[in-house]
Amino acid sequence: MTDPAPAPTALVVGAGSGIGRATAITLADAGLRVVAADLNPAAVTALAAEHEGIVDLGGAWDATDPEACRALVAAVVAETGRLDHLVTTVGWTAITRFLDETPDYWRRIIDVNLMSAIHLAAAAGEVMRETGGSIVLTASEAGVVGTSGEAVYSAAKGGVIALAKSLAREWARFGIRVNVVAPGVTETPLLVEQGGEALLSSIVRGIPLRRAGAPSEIADAIAYLVSARSSYVTGQTLCVGGGLTMSS
């Protein structure tokens, strides 16, 4: 009898909270070996303790740091022997007026929302160009249609969408698919930080399904894009926002 093949490995970065946490759980429940990473190590340790199939490497992983991203991917391969899927849900925003912001703030928004995706994709691509794989980046519906109060965040998320389209073209020859999930309003700690109930009630009226999404609903879309069920899908942005954004 030969040993059964090891489960494919998915690295989920941003897994300490909200959509990333739900994604780590959904992928682990689907039978993947999930390595969870985040800037917040305690959140990942708690997640791995609560759910089977989630590996905690320990430590704070800063996705805005290219060296840390390379070290993270190397640690995943050392731990599990492979890297089949990368999901990043890393992101941060605040609602502000563009003309009140500073260049340091713009840089931070671009670093957290766009540079993190670039550094993680580059680190994963170094491994996956030998093995193939799938990558899911997280944008926002703001990156598709823009939004008042989040101009640079919208620009960063639009950048994530363009990055995925370009990498999908460049890496198709390696058997790497690259797609994007673009959440709409989703009930996570980030939403609460931005304004919670007050923000929600003002936005929900404009959402055809008349409610915010749950993190697990975004995670389900990510699980589809990660899996072989989307084997002929690459370079696409899947908006998951209750119908708020209907452009393709």
Ligand X SMILES: NC(=O)c1ccc[n+]([C@@H]2O[C@H](COP(=O)([O-])OP(=O)(O)OC[C@H]3O[C@@H](n4cnc5c(N)ncnc54)[C@H](O)[C@@H]3O)[C@@H](O)[C@H]2O)c1
Q: By the criterion CB under 6 A, which residues form the site for ligand X?
A: 13-14, 16-20, 38-40, 43, 61-64, 89-93, 112, 116, 138, 140, 183, 185-186, 188-191
Residue closer to ligand X by CB (options 7, 190) is 190
Residue closer to ligand X by CB (options 13, 128) is 13
Q: Is-catalytic flag, 153?
A: yes
Minimal distance, residue 183 CB to ligand X, in Å: 4
Minimal distance, residue 46 CB to ligand X, in Å: 11
- The residue from 105, 153, 224, 232 that is catalytic is 153
Question: What is the rounded distance in angstroms from the CA atom of residue 54 to the CA atom of residue 19?
Answer: 15
Question: What is the rounded distance in angstroms from the CA atom of residue 148 to the CA atom of residue 33?
Answer: 39
Minimal distance, residue 248 CB to ligand X, in Å: 18
Residue closer to ligand X by CB (options 70, 129) is 70
Residues 219 and 22 sit within 8 Å (Cβ to Cβ) = yes
Q: How far is CA 195 from CA 91, 96, 211, in A?
A: 17, 12, 16
**213 DSSP β-pair partners:** 186
On the CB side of 248, CA atoms within 13 Å amount to 2
Supply the residues annotated as catalytic: 153
